Amino acid sequence: MRIASLVCAFLVLAAAPALAAAEKAGAAVVAGDVPNDAGGAIDVTWQPSPAEEEIGFKGYEVQRRVAGEPEFATVAESVVGETTFRDEDAENGVAYEYQVRVLGAEGAPTVLGTAEAKASGQWFNTARSNALAGVLFTSFVIIFFILRARGGAELFVRKIAGLEAVEEAIGRATEMGKPILFVSGLADASEISTIAAMTILAKVARKTAEYETPLIVPCYDPIVMMVEKEMVRQAYAEMGKPDAFDEDSVFFVTQSQFGYVAAVDGIMLREKPATNFYMGAFYAESLILAETGAATGAIQIAGTDRVTQLPFFITACDYTLMGEELYAATAYLGRDPLFLGSLKGQDWSKAAIILALIVGTVFLIISTDLGLWFAKLFETAAS
């Protein structure tokens, strides 16, 4: 990451050449563009005046004018205890002249010095070069594993019991001649957990189309309903059974939380589905759904990234996908090289982060200075 900082440092060398030159020359007043910002700000720095030691010293006054104009305007006055001022009201690309005056007890203010500078925005913040290095590393690892997967390499993914049981659960429903219920959570289509649930639904729909098993998909959000209906329709078409798709199998219920839960529970009690899937974002209704499904004797497979709802699903369901297992389901079930490579790349990136935490802890135990130096490599500027 230090290498990335060195590579990117040249991007701000042009931002403050006048400031660096003036400092080397020992100028009384120095003005320069603020580095690593969007522009509109100029830093003015000056050398302390001997008048600070005199009785009646009132501070400094900073004045500004556009280069070439006759009059200065005061932008800061009675500055005491500091020798810097940041002008955040500058216009990019406009040359400004700054004048610092010493306010004494008697007589007219004394001009300490003048300096000229322009504000400009930088397109890259070098203080965040470590973040760039992290993004590049993660991108490289993900692309590497995607290419390996496309090349036919077998990428190991640990077994996830809930996903291993998907085909068995669908087969059980087929043998019993009962439908399958799929609930994709109570969030809208922008939620990553809902997107993950929809991809799992597509996989389930292909199996139900293959086995000609009835599928029931009650939806909480109308947009989600439209997307899921098209996904299920496409799944049936891909399996060569477009006519087997039932338009009424994917339907909108209501956006009232407990009204939706009451409707789904009623479906469970009337239709007696052999398998219930709960995938996506769930809230206070999770236990009501899971308990009702358990009472009907259905096999239940749940998956959510809501930590507060996991205990209820673990208690009432046969299998539960916890957290990121829900996101990994697409790669696990479909074995698509793009998803599989992305999954492996993310896992290796997480391993690198864990390794960095271990190394940082060891360094801190060995030496506080060494640990702090290592920690600073991962610091990111706030602005």
pLDDT at 17: 44
3-class DSSP assignment, residue 46:
strand
**237 φ/ψ angles, rounded to the nearest 5 degrees:** -65, -40
Going from the C-alpha of 108 to that of each of 51, 77, 298, the distances in angstroms are 13, 14, 91
The H helix count followed by the E strand count for the chain is: 13, 13
Using alpha carbons, select from 6, 51, 8 the residue that is nearest to residue 28: 51
Following DSSP, what letter does each residue of 5-34 receive, concatenated?
HHHHGGGGTTTSHHHHHHHHHT-SEEEEEP
pLDDT at 381: 55
Where exactly does CATH 3.40.50 map onto the chain?
166-317
pLDDT at 46: 92
pLDDT at 177: 92
User: Is the C-alpha dihedral spanning 150, 211, 196, 295 positive or negative?
Assistant: negative
pLDDT at 51: 79
Spatial separation of the C-alpha atoms in residues 58 and 64, rounded to whole Å: 19
pLDDT at 105: 63
pLDDT tens-digit profile, the chain (383 residues): 444 444 344 333 343 444 444 344 456 899 999 988 888 999 999 988 887 787 778 888 999 999 888 889 999 888 888 889 999 989 999 999 999 998 876 667 888 889 999 999 888 888 888 888 889 999 999 999 999 888 888 888 888 888 888 888 999 999 999 999 999 999 999 998 999 899 899 989 999 999 999 999 999 999 999 999 999 999 999 999 999 999 999 999 999 999 999 999 999 999 999 999 999 999 999 999 999 999 999 999 999 999 999 999 999 999 999 888 888 887 877 778 888 888 889 899 999 999 999 999 999 999 889 988 888 888 765 54
Going by the DSSP 8-state scheme, the letter that residue 128 receives in this structure is G
**47 φ/ψ angles, rounded to the nearest 5 degrees:** -80, 140
3-class DSSP assignment, residue 323:
coil
Residue 222: other Cβ atoms inside 10 A: 13
3-class DSSP assignment, residue 42:
strand
pLDDT at 3: 41
- To which H or E segment does residue 303 belong? strand 299-304
Spatial separation of the C-alpha atoms in residues 194 and 189, rounded to whole Å: 6
Going from the C-alpha of 145 to that of each of 153, 158, 334, the distances in angstroms are 9, 16, 16
Where exactly does CATH 2.60.40.10 map onto the chain?
16-118
166-317 topology per CATH = Rossmann fold (3.40.50)
| CATH architecture assignment, domain 16-118 | Sandwich (2.60)
